[in-house]
A and B are shown apart, each in its own frame.
Chain A
Amino acid sequence: MVTLTYDGSFEGLLTAIFEIYEYRFSDVSIVPADRAQANVFNDHRQSTSDPVKAERVWLGLKKKVSTAALNQLHRAFLSELPGIEDKLYQYVLYVFSSKLSVEYDYSNSFVLFIKQTDQKVRREKHRMEAFIRFQLTGDGLYYAICQPDYNVLPLLQNHFRERYADQRWLIYDSTRKYGIYYDLNTVETVSLSFSEEAGSGKNLQAVFDEKEELYQQLWQQYFTSVNIVARKNTKLHLQHMPRRYWKYLTEKQVQ
């Protein structure tokens, strides 16, 4: 058994897949370097991300499946689920091994798994589009902290850029320790160490626009007022808004 490690990037994974073909590895498992565990029975190999090799795999796939299927692969990759690399590899293998496009063959377990993983990632993306809460700082930056289950920031850029075209904003993923920042022209990936304390409400006056606290109160008031007690349904509430997202929801910060 060969364990092939890669750098954790999508390009790195495509490179690794290329090298499996190149070196004719048979019994192989692809693992991100930081998750690889030493195992005396396995043959360890390391793959180094190479844009040319990655591109060859991508273009090869492009000839076989639709753009929608390619995007699906990318999103499934962003799930970062343990073992997702091998599933993606098996999918690619299946694609290359058959003449027709197999992207709709949900009777194949890898195709179905990728499709279902993609759905989970997309659901998380939608959740973030819904649950991101910006706070306005004194120097006119709208910033938000989040902790998505999957690595969805790359998928959020377009939505937020199109919607908030006239305001500077920053969305920070505190699990993965990086953010995306829009400076009124382009969106860039930024890594910064961020003190979460600043967003906890205690230091509001220091960092925030003078109206920020008022609008947070107004929103909390609104959220309370629209509730209809006679219809209370906690189960449904939690199903739509699982507790793990509450931490950064302005309306859930009232005691």
Chain B
Amino acid sequence: MSDRTLEKLSILADAAKYDVSCSSSGSDRKNKDKGLGNASNGICHAYTEDGRCVSLLKILLTNHCIFDCAYCVSRKSNDVKRAAFTVQEVVDLTINFYRRNYIEGLFLSSGIFKNADYTMERLVLVARKLREEHNFNGYIHLKTIPGASDELLKEAGLYADRLSVNVEMPTEQSLKLLAPDKKREDMIQPMNYLKGAIIANREEKKLFKKAPQFAPAGQSTQMVIGATPESDLEVLFMASQFYKQMQLKRVYYSGYVPISNDNRLPAIGTPVPMIRENRLYQADWLMRFYGFKVNEIVSPENPHLDIDIDPKLSWALRNLQIFPVDINKADLQVIMRIPGIGVQSAKKIVSARQFSKLTWEHLKKIGIAVNRARYFITCQSKEFELKDLMPMQIKQRILSQGASKYQPNFSPQIKLF
């Protein structure tokens, strides 16, 4: 370990950073036999200057690649410095970073070296060494290489907490256009295999507690947004399908960062679509935690998410007939749908109203965004805002208050609306 390692790290971390997924949660791996680490709570140990969470050591094993995907910095035809870690180097970095409390674990991906299996074998080897030689129980996320064999996927699942297969593009046409070496099938097939293996493992665990874990944090995927002309409707319907049919834990949306003069792609200097990306994450949260169906968020009439307001507010303005909602009576599910009220506040409201009828004062103290919510609710207080305002008027009023707390925030870890 030395200057050479330092240089490799800079190349291979730089090349890995466009994969936005960073989550280290969803696993409950315990510390075994007084070994090193556990994977439980998904801590962000640092934040980059662009405000993204740094939770895992996210690197490529190598950025050499036989493929030529147009949107990728590591593509074969790109003139960049190449490097490759040895298996041992990755193991040492992981262990030593982990012991210093820098990270929750490792997220290892790779360019395709020789062929899919050859590359996947090495990724699996790193994970096996960590688990078996170092009794490392921290979080491991392995990216699966498209086209790798089922046997290797199976082994990967025994060591890793999470596996991901990136679909890269929201539609097959876009993939064909930008990643001619890749086939949609090579991505869907391993996803299907993993889905089956994960379900089988969960069943087995129910019967035999001692059965080995298989990817306890499930699988995820990523789509690049804004490199190709898909609408939010296409993107979110695709995501919704992944959640339902593939039972994915997370879908990540990565705003395309222009890195190439290829005329199939937005030119260098085009801004990264960060607000759009943020709106997609908000919509994603609505689907996963707020009980919204995808077609409530986007539809053929409204194929794009609003840029100036969040998708929950848009939905509410399109559905004013449901409002106002009586905060002292409505179901939790309904309260969660009110703009300005998050899951936590909704729960507090439902608890607190058992003791006394809630007024604006109570609601303010509980921490809801009254400025925004007041157009949609009634409470014990007499004053009430929603006096036949038109959706546009409400939108204008809310926007003019410019509640800064709710300004778009560009991180996939957002929690509030």
CA gap between A108 and B13 in the complex, in Å: 51
- Inter-subunit contact B362/A142 (CB<8 Å): no
- Inter-subunit contact A241/B274 (CB<8 Å): no
- Please name all residues of chain B whose beta carbon is closer than 8 Å to the beta carbon of A99 when the two chains form the complex: none
Q: Which of B367-417 contact A (CB under 8 A)?
A: 367, 409-411
Q: Name which of B199-207, B214-222, B351-359 contacts chain A.
A: B351-359
A236-249 interface code vs B (CB 8 A; 1 in, 0 out): 11011100000001
A112 contacts partner chain B, Cβ-Cβ < 8 Å:
yes
- Please name all residues of chain B whose beta carbon is closer than 8 Å to the beta carbon of A237 when the two chains form the complex: 47-51
B267 contacts partner chain A, Cβ-Cβ < 8 Å:
no
Question: With A126-B43, A223-B46, A225-B17 in contact, do A134 and B365 touch (Cβ < 8 Å)?
Answer: no
- Inter-subunit contact B50/A211 (CB<8 Å): no
- Inter-subunit contact A215/B47 (CB<8 Å): no
- Inter-subunit contact B38/A227 (CB<8 Å): no
- Please name all residues of chain A whose beta carbon is closer than 8 Å to the beta carbon of B18 when the two chains form the complex: 228
Partner of B36, one of A167, A214, A225: A167
Partner of A241, one of B37, B47, B135, B365: B47
A81 contacts partner chain B, Cβ-Cβ < 8 Å:
no
A210-222 interface code vs B (CB 8 A; 1 in, 0 out): 0100110111011
A136 contacts partner chain B, Cβ-Cβ < 8 Å:
yes
- Inter-subunit contact B1/A226 (CB<8 Å): no
Q: Name which of A13-21, A65-73, A158-166, A173-181 contacts chain B.
A: A158-166
CA gap between A228 and B100 in the complex, in Å: 24
B318 contacts partner chain A, Cβ-Cβ < 8 Å:
no
CA gap between A217 and B102 in the complex, in Å: 12
- Please name all residues of chain A whose beta carbon is closer than 8 Å to the beta carbon of B51 when the two chains form the complex: 231, 233, 235-237, 239-240
Q: For residue A159, give the distance in angstroms from its CB to the closest CB of chain B.
A: 8
Chain A residue total in the interface (Cβ 8 A): 55
Q: For residue A170, give the distance in angstroms from its CB to the closest CB of chain B.
A: 13
B57 contacts partner chain A, Cβ-Cβ < 8 Å:
yes
- Please name all residues of chain A whose beta carbon is closer than 8 Å to the beta carbon of B17 when the two chains form the complex: 225-228
- Inter-subunit contact A222/B13 (CB<8 Å): yes
- Inter-subunit contact A104/B101 (CB<8 Å): no
Q: For residue B344, give the distance in angstroms from its CB to the closest CB of chain A.
A: 9
- Inter-subunit contact A227/B96 (CB<8 Å): no
- Inter-subunit contact B356/A107 (CB<8 Å): yes
Q: For residue B278, give the distance in angstroms from its CB to the closest CB of chain A.
A: 11
Q: With CB as the reference atom, state the residue of chain B lying closest to A107.
A: B356
CA gap between A228 and B13 in the complex, in Å: 11
Partner of B54, one of A107, A108, A226: A226
Partner of B34, one of A102, A136, A166, A229: A166
Q: With CB as the reference atom, state the residue of chain A lying closest to B30.
A: A162
- Please name all residues of chain A whose beta carbon is closer than 8 Å to the beta carbon of B356 when the two chains form the complex: 105, 107
A135 contacts partner chain B, Cβ-Cβ < 8 Å:
yes
A234 contacts partner chain B, Cβ-Cβ < 8 Å:
yes
A117 contacts partner chain B, Cβ-Cβ < 8 Å:
no
B97 contacts partner chain A, Cβ-Cβ < 8 Å:
yes
B287 contacts partner chain A, Cβ-Cβ < 8 Å:
no
- Inter-subunit contact A233/B36 (CB<8 Å): no
Question: With A112-B365, A163-B37 in contact, do A130 and B43 touch (Cβ < 8 Å)?
Answer: yes
- Inter-subunit contact A219/B50 (CB<8 Å): no
- Inter-subunit contact B99/A218 (CB<8 Å): no
- Inter-subunit contact B272/A106 (CB<8 Å): no
Partner of A236, one of B36, B46, B50: B50
- Inter-subunit contact B355/A226 (CB<8 Å): no
Q: For residue B309, give the distance in angstroms from its CB to the closest CB of chain A.
A: 19
Q: For residue A161, give the distance in angstroms from its CB to the closest CB of chain B.
A: 9
Known A106-B366, A231-B255; further 18 A-B contacts with Cβ < 8 A: A104-B355, A105-B354, A105-B355, A107-B356, A112-B366, A116-B367, A130-B45, A165-B31, A214-B2, A223-B46, A228-B17, A228-B48, A234-B49, A235-B51, A237-B48, A237-B49, A239-B51, A240-B47
B contact residues vs A (CB 8 Å cutoff):
1-2, 5-6, 9-10, 13-14, 16-18, 31, 34-38, 41, 43-54, 57-58, 93, 96-97, 99-102, 135, 255, 257-258, 271-272, 274, 348, 351-352, 354-356, 358, 362, 365-367, 409-411
A contact residues vs B (CB 8 Å cutoff):
102, 104-109, 112, 116, 126, 129-136, 142, 144, 162-167, 211, 214-215, 217-219, 221-237, 239-241, 249-251
Q: Which 8 A-B pairs have the closest CB atoms?
A: A236-B51, A231-B50, A225-B13, A104-B351, A106-B352, A105-B355, A240-B47, A165-B34
Q: Can you spell out 11 A-B residue pairs with CB atoms less than 8 angstroms apart?
A: A106-B362, A142-B99, A163-B31, A166-B36, A218-B6, A223-B54, A226-B17, A230-B258, A236-B51, A236-B411, A250-B100
